Amino acid sequence: MYFACRGLSLSLDVIGNLPHCFDSTYIVVRYKSLMAKPLAHAAYRSLAELRYQIRRFSCFSERAARGAGVEPQQHQFMLALKGLPKGVRPRIAELSERMQIQHHSAVELANRLAANGYIRRSHKGQDRREVLLALTAKGERVLRELSLHHRSELRTLGPALVTALKRAMQSNQTPDRVAGNRGSARRRRSK
């Protein structure tokens, strides 16, 4: 398993051995070694194509959300709430993490959704400070319509997105590594 941060990937066993503040020397050395290897032009093209396909779906999603009467981030918030993994409590902290936004931004999204009747807050258990969120019937209805529309659109855009992702993952190899792989394949065939 890997941890990615600003373009770096570190294995969990490496992270476990780093001090709390990370070993900045290791990160710099790892970053420089990654940056020293040039990328082939095909890698840039495949990454650009992946970003294009993601953006196409994202633009569709934004238009669909606005068409349903909600802002795109409100739709994403409701989807994150409905799609939380089993056992994860539906709290602001978990939703801000799932959406990769600041806590105060998640609070504001929840406030707007609650004010418009899409979600409700409740206090459950002994700790009255803990606020749990849930979709209302109105929120469930809007989210269901949007999700059906998104699934339909994914049937159209999905294959191009998957192809772009596969190409980006394959072309992300450095030229010397790709050349090395071709050479070893030639040696195997000639035997």
Question: What residue segments make up the domains of the chain, in order of their start?
Answer: 1-37, 39-173
Mean pLDDT of 147-175: 89
- If you ran DSSP here, which 8-state letter would residue 27 be given? H
pTM over 0.85: no
Neighbouring residues of 133: CB distance < 8 A, sequence distance ≥ 6: 81, 90, 91, 92, 95, 110, 119, 120, 121, 122
pLDDT range class, residue 173, cuts 50, 70, 90: low
3-state helix, strand, coil in the chain (%, to 5): 65, 10, 25
* 3-class secondary-structure state, position 121: strand
pLDDT digits (tens, 9 = 90+) for 50-79: 999 999 999 999 999 999 999 999 999 999
pLDDT digits (tens, 9 = 90+) for 78-118: 999 999 999 999 999 999 999 999 999 999 999 999 999 99
Q: Give the residue among 121, 118, 124 at the shortest CA–CA distance from 133.
A: 121
Percent of the chain with pLDDT over 70: 70
For the domain covering 39-173, report its CATH number: 1.10.10.10
Q: What is the pLDDT of residue 6?
A: 44
Mean pLDDT of 12-21: 47
pLDDT range class, residue 188, cuts 50, 70, 90: very low
Q: What is the pLDDT of residue 114?
A: 98
